[in-house]
């Protein structure tokens, strides 16, 4: 063979004289190719055959070894029956009637001692009957060949009786075990049904599984990173599998693959414990690990089914508690949200009237101070500061009131066909005070379709986004507003972007930034309570659009600033009977880029 460096071959399952008679192909390749790396792969057929034979033998021998004491007792029973038969023979009992005594002894031995002692007593009874009672006595010789048929029938009858009796004994024992385990499962299910916390389920499941299967048990549940681990800080060492015998890597594999592994399985059978996935209807809830000294029981199908049933009941209880916790959290959140909206609405209404008065009085004072001209510069600056702070407080109260109304669904959209450029212009005019000293560049194409909008809410949307950009960017840095028509399959929408040159959005805050009372910088010196962007999201979603934020980066990965974007659906067209608007037409013909 040329250009061959590695070879994978199946390992031969033949052994003994078969291997000597016909040398396996893999061994011949190894002998001839000294420069080739040969990897032998076992099919597992040989191990499976041995396992099948072992299970068959285990079934035949009544599922367990009889102790030497049982065989000695069977021997003693045979001796006692022989003495009793000798006494009866001395009283002229026919020797054929003595066979019944030996059959009675075989039945007793099979019931009380097991199959093995019963079979031994069957052969011993035939031998004793021949030696002590069949002429010539005290000899295994037989003068009358008819006794050979008696011996044969006696042996077969004894063996059949022994087999049937021990089988009934085995079935009775299995039925008793099944009854105990069914009772134990009922008790565990009853306790699990009353459990309200995950820790209680772990304690109940561990205790019952350890008691029923005489095993050490560990229950591993996933954390936030989907890594399984024990959640009980101080487990009971009498029933809990210790860390030395617990392999977290195998448990993680079982959790990820949702397949059993470990002792008694075809996957990693050398492990010290058996690992079973806790499968629930919705997903896998964890891993059950158990190790027992009676490892042969793990291979019994009925035993495995019982263990899997226990695991299934524990998984169902874990899933039930999980969804109970979710329902409770949702209920608490809904109630908290309702109370918070009610509080915001009440506070907003109570503060809006005095704040409006303060803003008006500050504005009057500022105008009078400017007209009089005699006041000092300090006084004018003080009056101006009062006016600015009153306006800011009024904006905060307005945000609170709008958020409460949007959450309560009290605001109905007054949709009208509008040009986006007009809405942007109105928002820029209303934000002149906030944007003082900042250049604003707008790029709104003239060929954008008309959009069905609530103009007041859309102006509020732009005003909040512009105020947010001005608040978190250095002074005199530009703000850019752009819009473009986009398509997503058959859907058509207008995408609007507002770019700044600030520090960008902190990592991991892109999705949370639009939550209520969430700010990009904790304990920031910038004024605000974190409602502006939440109002923006509520307005966009009310129009059937989406909103988001991302960082703008250059080729080297340096952050150039933040980009807030939102989309508005543009699938519908305005009715053809819409009267022409000369102002709209003139503005649509205006240049697409303005500096404010």
Nearest to 122 by CA among 137, 105, 135: 105
* 194 conformational bin, left if phi > 0, alpha if psi -120 to 50, beta if neither: alpha
Provide mean pLDDT across the span 573-588. 52
Q: Note whether 192 and 317 are within 8 A (CB).
A: yes
Instruction: Report pLDDT digits (tens) over 310-343.
Output: 999 999 999 999 898 888 888 888 887 777 667 6
Query: Taking 50 as the threshold, does the pLDDT of residue 58 lie above it?
Result: no
The CA–CA distances, whole Å, from 435 to 140, 521, 533, 591 equal: 122, 21, 18, 22
Provide mean pLDDT across the span 191-220. 89
Contacts of 211 (CB under 8 A, 6+ apart): 184, 239
Nearest to 264 by CA among 273, 255, 252: 273
Instruction: Report pLDDT digits (tens) over 391-417.
Output: 767 766 776 666 666 666 656 788 899
Of 45-59, 74-88, 303-317, the least confident:
45-59
462/428 Cα distance (integer angstroms): 8
pTM score, whole prediction: 0.48
Task: Calculate the CA 359 to chain-centre distance.
Answer: 55
Instruction: Report pLDDT digits (tens) over 449-508.
Output: 999 998 888 988 998 899 888 888 888 899 999 999 998 888 899 999 999 998 888 887
Q: How confident is the model at residue 443 (pLDDT cuts 50, 70, 90)?
A: very high
What pLDDT does residue 549 have? 93
What pLDDT does residue 287 have? 94
Of 52-66, 184-198, 271-285, the least confident:
52-66
Helix, coil or strand: residue 77: helix
What pLDDT does residue 593 have? 39
Q: What is the DSSP string of 192-251?
A: HHH--SHHHHHHHHHHHHHHHHTEEEEEEEE-TTS-EEE--SS--TTTBPPGGG--HHHH
Which domains, from first to last, does the chain contain? 6-60 (no CATH), 416-595 (3.30.565.10)
Q: Note whether 405 and 411 are within 8 A (CB).
A: yes
Q: Note whether 17 and 23 are within 8 A (CB).
A: no
């Amino acid at each position: 063979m040329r250009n061959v460096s590695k070879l994978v071959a199946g390992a031969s399952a033949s052994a003994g004289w078969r291997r000597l008679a016909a040398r396996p192909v893999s061994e011949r390749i190894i002998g001839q190719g000294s420069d080739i790396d040969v990897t032998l792969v076992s099919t597992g057929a040989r191990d499976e055959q041995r396992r099948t034979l072992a299970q068959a033998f285990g079934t035949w021998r009544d599922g367990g070894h009889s102790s030497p004491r049982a065989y000695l007792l069977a021997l003693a029973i045979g001796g006692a029956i022989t003495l009793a038969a000798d006494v009866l023979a001395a009283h002229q009992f026919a020797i054929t009637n003595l066979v019944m005594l030996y059959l009675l002894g075989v039945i007793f031995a099979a019931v009380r001692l097991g199959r093995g002692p019963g079979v031994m007593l069957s052969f011993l009874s035939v031998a004793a009957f021949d030696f002590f009672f069949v002429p010539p006595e005290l000899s295994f010789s037989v003068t009358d060949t008819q006794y050979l048929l008696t011996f044969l029938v006696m042996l077969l009858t004894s063996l059949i009786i022994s087999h049937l009796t021990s089988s009934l004994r085995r079935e009775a024992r299995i039925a008793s075990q099944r009854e105990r385990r069914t009772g134990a499962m009922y008790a565990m299910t009853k306790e699990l049904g009353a459990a309200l916390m995950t820790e209680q389920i772990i304690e109940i499941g561990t205790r019952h599984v350890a008691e029923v299967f005489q095993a050490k048990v560990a229950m591993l549940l996933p954390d936030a990173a989907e890594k399984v681990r024990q959640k009980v800080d101080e487990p009971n060492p009498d029933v809990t599998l210790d860390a030395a015998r617990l392999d977290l890597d195998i448990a993680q594999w079982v959790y990820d693959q949702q397949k059993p592994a470990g002792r008694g399985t075809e996957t990693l059978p050398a492990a010290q414990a058996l690992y079973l996935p806790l499968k629930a209807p919705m997903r896998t809830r964890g891993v059950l690990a158990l190790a027992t000294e009676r490892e042969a029981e793990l291979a019994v199908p009925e035993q495995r089914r019982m263990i899997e049933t226990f695991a299934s009941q524990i998984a169902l209880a874990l899933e039930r508690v999980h969804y109970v916790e979710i329902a409770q959290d949702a209920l608490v959140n809904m109630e908290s949200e309702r109370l918070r909206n009610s509080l915001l609405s009440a506070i907003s209404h109570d503060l809006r009237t005095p704040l409006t008065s303060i803003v008006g009085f500050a504005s009057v004072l500022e105008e009078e101070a400017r007209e009089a001209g005699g006041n000092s510069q300090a006084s004018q600056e003080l009056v101006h500061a009062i006016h600015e702070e009153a306006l800011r407080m009024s904006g905060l109260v307005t945000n609170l009131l709008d958020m409460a109304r949007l959450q309560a669904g009290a605001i109905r959209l007054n949709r009208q066909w509008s040009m986006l450029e007009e809405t942007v212009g109105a928002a820029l005019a209303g934000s002149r005070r906030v944007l003082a000293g900042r250049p604003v560049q707008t790029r709104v194409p003239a060929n954008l379709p008309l959009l069905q909008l609530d103009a007041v809410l859309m102006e509020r949307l732009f005003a909040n986004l512009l105020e947010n950009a001005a608040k978190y960017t250095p002074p005199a840095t530009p703000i850019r507003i752009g819009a473009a028509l986009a398509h997503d399959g058959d859907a058509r929408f207008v995408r609007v972007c507002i770019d700044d040159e600030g520090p960008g959005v902190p990592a991991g805050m892109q999705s949370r930034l639009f939550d209520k009372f969430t700010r990009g910088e904790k304990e920031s010196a910038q004024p605000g309570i974190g409602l502006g962007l939440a109002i923006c999201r509520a307005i966009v979603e009310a129009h059937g659009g989406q909103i988001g934020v991302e960082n703008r980066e250059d080729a080297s990965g340096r952050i150039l600033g933040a980009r807030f974007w939102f989309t508005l659906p543009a699938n519908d067209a305005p009715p053809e009977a819409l009267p022409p608007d000369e102002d709209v037409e003139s503005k649509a013909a205006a240049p697409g880029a303005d500096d404010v």
